[in-house]
Copies of this chain bind each other. A is one copy, B any other.
Amino acid sequence: MAKALVLEKTRQLSIREIDLPRTLGPNDVRVKIATVGICGSDVHYYTHGRIGPFVVDAPMVLGHEASGTVTEIGANVTALAPGDRVCMEPGIPDPNSRASKLGLYNVDPAVIFWATPPVHGCLTPEVIHPAAYTYKLPDNVSFAEGAMVEPFAIGMQAAARAKIAPGDVGLVIGAGPIGILTALAALAGGCARVMIFDVVPDKLTTAATYAGIEALAPAGGGLADQVMRATQNWGADVVFECSGHPSAFPRIFHHARPGGCVVFVGMPVEPVTFDVVTAQTKELRMETVFRYANVYDRAIELIASGKIDLNPLISETYAFADSIPAFERAAEARPTDIKLQIELPR
């Protein structure tokens, strides 16, 4: 039994004792949790009790963006040691699946993912996790930054799949947390500059403080006009759709240059409308993103090297005892809040 933040049912959270796995397998590590970020999906389970086919029909521990300290290692583990500061990939695939063998372990249908029903999350003082999905943090990366690696990894996956060429010009649609993290990953990943667009001006404020990111608010003529003006009428090399909003899709191919790429990161709730012929006349490539694979180590390198500073994105930090108010604030979805985090007791 361990204390945890438990989603009892829609809109009802408790901090209470719950039975969680405590047996350390030979390839596992035991981790004392330090910091956990609140993700939009955690909030959505809290407010709606489900995401698509995933329904919370039994009490479930929330949280999947975590950092902490290794306290014990399994018999086969050699790459980690007690005392190591770490962060964890929340999805655990079957390493022998056909997708995993291809290096695409994120699309293995057998993945088990923290805080996706019926799997418990990590808002609890201690977890057991496979060593292969636990990554050491260098000394100059804080626990708060370590807990940011998970959402940043989505941006990294988007940047990786885009196959950015050095000096590309990027465009990100949607300035929520994932949009901003994608812009940062694209910039660190080779873009010369990244434009970011949102209809809510407040969301652009923090993004605009980063060198290399240019905020675009709605203007007469539409986004395509703005992008064309900013690219000598050529278009963006890479467009990242991070809003998931249906209005973003019908004209999205207008923003890209001939031979460019559009990456679909945001997940629209319903099917959307595509103008295939416009994509064809530019022979665009389209990529899609589902979580991430093989990017945690790269994300950590970028944070440790100083190329990426995620600290400005942490809007406020709560104590574990205040987890419920933290979720209530997250549920407000203030446009100036980017990431709220919860610190477990030291």
In A255-295, the 8 Å CB interface with B consists of 258-259, 264, 267-268, 271-277, 279-290, 293-295
Distance in Å from the Cβ of A300 to the closest Cβ of chain B?
8
Task: Say yes or no: is A206 at the interface (Cβ < 8 Å to chain B).
Answer: no
Give CA–CA (A243, B272) in the complex, Å: 20
Task: Say yes or no: is A122 at the interface (Cβ < 8 Å to chain B).
Answer: no
Q: Is the Cβ of A281 less than 8 Å from the Cβ of B107?
A: yes
Task: Say yes or no: is A297 at the interface (Cβ < 8 Å to chain B).
Answer: yes
CB contact under 8 A between A273 and B276, given known A132-B101, A166-B164, A301-B192: no
Interface residues on chain A, number (Cβ under 8 Å): 78
Pick the contact of A107: B52, B193, B283 (CB < 8 A).
Answer: B283
CB contact under 8 A between A212 and B305, given known A96-B132, A188-B166: yes
Task: Say yes or no: is A1 at the interface (Cβ < 8 Å to chain B).
Answer: no
Closest to A266 in B: B276
Give CA–CA (A167, B108) in the complex, Å: 21
Give CA–CA (A188, B295) in the complex, Å: 18
Closest to A99 in B: B258
Q: Is the Cβ of B267 less than 8 Å from the Cβ of A104?
A: no
Task: Say yes or no: is A190 at the interface (Cβ < 8 Å to chain B).
Answer: yes
Distance in Å from the Cβ of A209 to the closest Cβ of chain B?
15
- A: residues with CB less than 8 A from B are 27, 52, 95-109, 130-132, 156, 159-161, 163-169, 185, 188-190, 192-193, 211-212, 234, 249-250, 258-259, 264, 267-268, 271-277, 279-290, 293-295, 297-299, 301-302, 304-307
